[in-house]
């Protein structure tokens, strides 16, 4: 079946502009995660949605970052007033209910100039 | 908070040799330990995982061992092939933060033909 999809695959934006990144999880996966991967680094947790529960936002680096998940499926990560240090690959993952295995999308490469 | 240390950061082996990557973690409540393989420009792919009620798991040429007392786990790849060349990440989850994964910094594995 279809895997996790993300759009856009690449985004170049000017410092100070807002950006929206989209994630479409695997059908039936109730948990959705956002991670950030800076060049040559590991994956840094940002936010986690599980069903109708309140999201775990503990990894968001600042209040410029927010995410929502509509209808329990598609999620959008929004970064306001982008800074150069926001440049990274933003990865989304999803998992089945009550399962630990997370499956990743291809990521969105964000470049802030 | 959770922390995962991964070693070595780079590993170079000859085709046919074995490769071992080690990780230590801090959250004693963690009970899920996956390994991901990430090829250049691609998404991380889950290759094997282990839960805390198991000490070892094997899948063809790859195996993972877990020592909960010492809080460390290892990935073993036998009979390495050039296509095993990639960045490998360990992670821990299922503990106090349930769904989120905390990743190590990654190991760049190069298998020379």
**Minimum distance, in Å, between the CA of residue A105 and any CA atom of chain B:** 6
Per-residue pLDDT in tens (0 to 9) along chain A, 113 residues:
589 999 999 999 999 999 999 999 999 999 999 999 998 788 999 999 998 888 999 999 999 999 999 887 999 999 999 999 999 999 999 999 888 899 999 999 999 99
Q: Closest chain A residue to B6 measured between Cα atoms? A: A42
**Paired tokens of A7:** 């759009």
Residue A70: half-sphere exposure toward Cβ, Cα within 13 Å: 5
For residue A47, give the chain B residue with the closest CA: B100
What is the residue-averaged pLDDT of chain B? 93
**Which residue in the block uniquely carries the two structure tokens 């990521």?**
A107
Transcribe A51-88 into DSSP letters. Answer: TTSPPB-TT--STTEEEEESTTS-EEEEE-S--GGG-E
Nearest to B50 by CA among A70, A104, A100: A100
Residues whose CB falls within 8 Å of the CB of residue A17, separated by 6 or more in sequence, listed in order? A81, A82
Which of A7, A42, A91 to mutate against chain B (most B CBs within 10 Å)?
A42
B46 in contact with A, Cβ within 8 Å = yes
Residues in Cβ contact with A16 at an 8 Å cutoff, skipping those fewer than 6 apart: A81, A82
| pLDDT digits 0-9 by tens, B46-56 | 999 999 888 99
């Amino acid at each position: 079946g279809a895997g996790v999809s993300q759009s856009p695959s690449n985004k170049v934006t000017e410092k100070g502009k807002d950006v929206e990144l989209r994630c479409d999880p695997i059908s039936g996966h109730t948990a959705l995660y956002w991670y950030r991967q800076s060049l040559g680094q590991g994956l840094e947790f940002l936010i986690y949605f599980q069903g109708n529960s309140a999201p775990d936002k503990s990894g968001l680096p600042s209040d410029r970052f927010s995410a929502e998940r509509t209808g329990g499926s598609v999620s959008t990560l929004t970064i306001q007033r982008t800074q150069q240090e926001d440049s990274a690959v933003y990865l989304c993952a999803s998992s089945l209910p009550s399962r630990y295995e997370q499956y990743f999308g291809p990521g969105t490469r964000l470049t802030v100039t | 908070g959770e922390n995962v240390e991964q070693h070595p950061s780079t590993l170079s082996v000859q085709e046919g040799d074995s490769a071992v990557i080690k990780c230590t973690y801090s959250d004693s409540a963690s009970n899920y330990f996956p390994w991901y393989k990430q090829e250049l420009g691609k998404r991380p792919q889950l290759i094997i995982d282990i839960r805390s009620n198991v000490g070892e798991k094997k899948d063809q040429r790859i195996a993972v061992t877990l020592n909960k007392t010492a809080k460390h786990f290892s990935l073993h790849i036998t009979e390495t092939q050039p296509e095993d060349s990639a960045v490998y990440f360990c992670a821990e989850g299922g503990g106090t933060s349930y769904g989120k994964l905390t990743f190590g910094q990654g190991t760049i594995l190069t298998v020379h033909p």
